[in-house]
Amino acid sequence: MKPTLQQGEILKEYLSDILKYRETIDEVYDHILSAVEEKPEKERFQNTVNNILNHDFGGGKGLMELERSHQKNSLSELSHQLLNYIKANFKFPNILSTFLIFFACYYFTIHVNIIGNPTLILAFPLAATLLFAINWVRTFFIGFYTGDKRKSLRDINIVKIISPCYRMVFIFCCLIPLKLKFYEIIIVEYPVIFTTLLTGYLLYFLAVIKIIIDEFKLYVAK
């Protein structure tokens, strides 16, 4: 059976009502079309599609479970990529740059009054917001470049790996006005603690930037 263009569009609309993300919609769509082409012409298209969905995916519930599994795998892949970028900072020759970042953060910590400088405090959430701005540009670029404005699993998961940057900064900035003893300990008495935290944050920040840049390169290379 050779599906018509109209039947293909109907199928894609039907899958879009069940599934959220373009990766799973396209995967299931391609699978069904390939399976339909192997069926005899005498069968009705709608019945054939329903049989394939039930047999190969377990119906609507099976499709949603498939999408959840894909989302989990996509997040795991991104997390693994993020971890590899962070670990690479502790291998030669990148470790030299990591030491420079650490010493720069240490100098910053002991010579700048972080708690008593409202302008400086504001810089932390602005830096975190920059990640969301860069990701928005990435999403716009990919949508414009591909002409596909549908939601993507990767878009959702990149936001998830960006979120810790923003949450950590938000908590840090909210507690600073309280001038807790905790901040005096990690910034004034033991600045190496804050230096380590700040260095780790910057390495995480840079790893996320690298992931986003990788996607730009991927689409430009196509």
List, for residues 165-194, the tens digit of each pLDDT value.
Answer: 777 777 777 766 666 677 777 777 889 998
Q: Are residues 110 and 29 located together in one domain of the fold?
A: no
Q: How many CB atoms lie within 10 A of CB 25?
A: 20
Phi, psi of 149 (to 5 degrees): -95, 5
- What's the number of domains the chain is made of? 2
Does residue 77 lie within any of the structural domains? no
Rounded CA gap, 13 and 105, in Å?
Answer: 52
Q: Are residues 38 and 145 located together in one domain of the fold?
A: no
Domain that holds residue 19: 5-67
Q: Are residues 106 and 143 located together in one domain of the fold?
A: yes
Q: Look at residue 96 in the predicted model and tell me its pLDDT.
A: 97
Q: Write the pLDDT tens digit of every residue in 84-133.
A: 999 999 999 999 999 999 999 999 888 887 766 666 666 767 777 787 78
The answer, yes or no, to whether residue 15 has pLDDT greater than 90, is yes
Q: Which of 27, 38, 37 is nearest to 7 (CA)?
A: 37
Q: Which of 110, 200, 133 is nearest to 164 (CA)?
A: 200
Q: Are residues 62 and 151 located together in one domain of the fold?
A: no
Q: Are residues 114 and 174 located together in one domain of the fold?
A: yes
Does residue 76 lie within any of the structural domains? no
Does residue 129 lie within any of the structural domains? yes
Q: Are residues 132 and 181 located together in one domain of the fold?
A: yes
Could you tell me which residue, 72 or 181, shows the higher pLDDT? 72
Phi, psi of 102 (to 5 degrees): -60, -50
Q: Are residues 42 and 114 located together in one domain of the fold?
A: no
Q: Which of 105, 108, 84 is nearest to 196 (CA)?
A: 105
Does residue 82 lie within any of the structural domains? no
Does residue 177 lie within any of the structural domains? yes
Does residue 136 lie within any of the structural domains? yes
Q: Look at residue 44 in the predicted model and tell me its pLDDT.
A: 87
Q: Are residues 133 and 188 located together in one domain of the fold?
A: yes
Q: Are residues 95 and 44 located together in one domain of the fold?
A: no
Rounded CA gap, 37 and 53, in Å?
Answer: 15
Does residue 75 lie within any of the structural domains? no
Rounded CA gap, 184 and 188, in Å?
Answer: 5
